[in-house]
């Protein structure tokens, strides 16, 4: 039953991606890709919920964490798309969600159950997922902005760049996402310091340090934007650097410990 739900979600993600590509090719617009993406996200949520019930808690191995985080990214994207022109990011994020969920279902990894006894711990986990989701979308938006800026200089501009909102709209949305992401990351770090013991212990030190470095970079980007008008390539490079640090913080050690050293 679990696998059926998961693979149904993968199919819905795939259909959403195919429809989005078809629309791009034919220069049409509709909400159908987002409708299938919503179906995929609901099924993905159901899969994770039933998995937690089956395991008497959430298994925090790398594939489950990746699946949970990519679900957060998709949900934030879909909610944002209600009022903001971010649906084109689904071309990158929906197939990524399908791939991660497929791998999650197909590969067994070492169980890593964590007891969650306090509301503070739940708040820390939720704000961490929210921060990662917002800043992931911001990173994809930054790449998309860089591609659009490059292609608009070509003659003639590509079909893809012409279907996107204006550069000003894309850039404004990018910094709105970063501002929201920094707020969520601040809450995540704050709840971590408040509710987690030994945040700088050996198994958590690298996560804490990398997250703090990412937070500093994203804050510097916002300050640079406000005071010095950072934009274009400079902003994109720093955004991707900050996101890389955040990605290493969330998944670096898990990848080494669970997928490399466990196979040695």
- Residues 69, 77 contacting (CB under 8 angstroms): no
Per the DSSP assignment, residues forming a β-bridge with 113 are: 59
- Is residue 62 very low, low, confident or very high in pLDDT (cuts 50, 70, 90)? confident
Cα distance between residue 215 and residue 189, in whole Å: 9
From the number of C-beta atoms within 10 Å of its C-beta (0-12, 13-18, 19+), residue 84 rates as middle
Residue 228: the pLDDT is 82
189 closest CA partner among 212, 218, 220:
212
Q: Does residue 55 surpass a pLDDT of 50?
A: yes
Q: Model confidence at 54, in pLDDT bands (50, 70, 90)?
A: confident
For the residues 67-79, what does the mean pLDDT come to? 92
> Mean pLDDT across the stretch 25-32?
68
Q: Residue 212 pLDDT more than 70?
A: yes
- Classify the phi-psi angles of 229: left when phi > 0, otherwise alpha if psi is within -120 to 50, otherwise beta: left
């Amino acid at each position: 039953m679990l696998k059926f739900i998961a693979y149904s979600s993968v199919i819905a993600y795939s259909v959403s991606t195919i429809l989005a590509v078809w629309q791009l090719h034919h220069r049409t617009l509709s909400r159908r890709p987002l409708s299938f993406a919503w179906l995929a996200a609901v099924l993905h949520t159901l899969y994770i919920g039933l998995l937690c019930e089956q395991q008497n808690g959430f298994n925090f191995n790398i594939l489950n964490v990746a699946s949970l985080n990519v679900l957060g990214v998709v949900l934030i994207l879909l909610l944002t798309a209600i009022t903001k022109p971010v649906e084109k990011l689904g071309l990158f994020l929906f197939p990524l969600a399908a791939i991660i969920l497929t791998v999650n279902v197909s590969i067994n990894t070492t169980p890593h159950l964590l007891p969650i006894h306090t509301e503070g711990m739940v708040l820390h986990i939720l704000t961490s997922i929210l921060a990662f989701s917002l800043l992931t979308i911001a990173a994809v938006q930054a790449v998309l902005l860089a591609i659009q800026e490059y292609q608009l200089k070509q003659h003639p501009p590509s079909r893809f760049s012409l279907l996107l909102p204006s550069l000003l709209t894309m850039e404004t949305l990018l910094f709105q996402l970063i501002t929201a992401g920094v707020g969520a990351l601040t809450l995540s770090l704050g709840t971590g310091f408040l509710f987690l013991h030994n945040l700088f212990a050996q198994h958590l030190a690298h996560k804490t340090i990398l997250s703090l470095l990412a937070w500093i970079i994203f804050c510097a980007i916002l300050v640079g934007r406000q005071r010095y008008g950072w934009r274009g390539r400079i902003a994109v490079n720093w955004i991707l650097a900050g996101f890389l640090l955040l990605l290493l913080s969330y998944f670096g050690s898990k990848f080494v410990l669970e997928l490399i050293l466990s196979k040695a």
